[in-house]
Homo-oligomer: A and B are copies of this chain.
């Protein structure tokens, strides 16, 4: 059944099926036959949309990194106060890692399955993302708004929480996404040595919205 107008849908369904299977079983353990079966087509038909299996992984990983960077830009847009920018960046970080848990998990666990060129691209984007956090932490410290032990370790701690959230978060869990975000923001700001007063003000502000 050729579907001239359905072509785009097939391509989308294929990437969706691939993301789900890569998430569940990993890239290497997923066969193209499984991907094809999930959208009820034959293996060979996949090659109307991709040049090879690696295309599927590349598209997913580059996509999630671009989305992550875009989300960070959007979250910071229009904010000037450095602690507010930090709060917004952490909010975005946790929320994104919970909301796109599947893609983020693939992004973090399948880096080594990527070819050299693509891996370098993804790592560069990750570095770019982390650099924004690092600069924010440095600025907060420079302005005396944070008492930072070690910039790199502090940024890693924030990153680590997001990565970890993507491994356990499920929408039907006992904590809502807003609660998870709000509480983790407090943990991160504490860790950064932001004053208790400032953290309380931020907590109060987020409680208004809840």
Contact = CB atoms under 8 A, between A and B. Distances in A.
A112 B149 CA distance: 36
Contacts of A175: 150, 152-153
Nearest to A152: B175
Nearest to A186: B149
Nearest to A187: B191
Interface stretch (A42-50, A64-72, A156-164): A156-164
A156 B24 CA distance: 22
A69 B116 CA distance: 37
Interface string A161-203: 1011100100000010000100110111011010000000000
Contacts of A25: 112
A154 interface: yes
A184 B190 CA distance: 13
Contact of A109 (B109, B157, B168, B187): B109
Given A24-B112, A26-B113, A28-B26, A156 B149 contact: no
A156 B168 contact: yes
B156 A164 contact: yes
A161 B168 contact: no
A162 to B, nearest CB: 8
A159 B157 CA distance: 10
13 contacts: A26-B28, A26-B113, A29-B112, A149-B183, A149-B187, A150-B175, A153-B187, A157-B161, A160-B161, A163-B164, A187-B191, A190-B190, A190-B191
Interface of A: 24-26, 28-29, 109, 112-113, 149-150, 152-154, 156-157, 159-161, 163-165, 168, 175, 180, 183-184, 186-188, 190-191, 193
